[in-house]
Amino acid sequence: MKKQKRTPFEHEIVLGKNIWRWRDHLKLGPRDIGKKLKMTEKQYLQLERGAFVPLPKLEIIGKVLGQPVQKRDIRRISFLRKLEKETGIEQVDLIGIYNEILPHPEFEE
C-alpha cells in the first residue's frame, strides 16, 4: 500500500517561502545551498515547498543566507514543534517566529 503524503502545515509553507525569498534576494541557486546542507537540489527544493525543516538544517540555512538563527529561537521552535506533535494542533505561533528569524528581505534593508 502506498504511503499517503502529509499535507504541510501553514507555518512550514511560510518558512519555505521565507527561505526562498532570501535565496532569491541573494541570487543563490538551490544547488548552492543544497551542497552546503549535503542535500540534492531536489531535496532542498522540497524544503522551500513546505517540507519539514529539521532544526540543524534551519541553522545552516540561516548562516548561508546571512540570517543566523539564535539558540533561543531554536529552543522556542523546538518547544512549539513538540507541543504540536503531542497535541496534533498546528502551532500558528511558529509563523511569527519564522518571520522574525527570516524577515522579508525588502524590509531588512
- Each residue's pLDDT, cut to its tens digit, for the chain (109 residues) gives 777 777 889 999 999 999 999 999 999 999 989 998 899 999 999 999 999 999 999 999 999 999 999 999 999 999 999 999 999 999 999 999 999 999 988 765 5
Domain 10-102 is found in CATH 1.10.260.40 = yes
Can you give the pLDDT at residue 108?
A: 54
**At CB < 8 A and 24+ separation, what contacts does 93-101 make?**
94/9, 94/11, 94/15, 95/10, 95/11, 95/14, 97/73, 98/11, 98/14, 98/15, 98/18, 99/14, 99/18, 100/73, 101/62, 101/67, 101/69, 101/70, 101/73
Can you give the pLDDT at residue 1?
A: 73
Can you give the pLDDT at residue 82?
A: 96
Can you give the pLDDT at residue 64?
A: 93
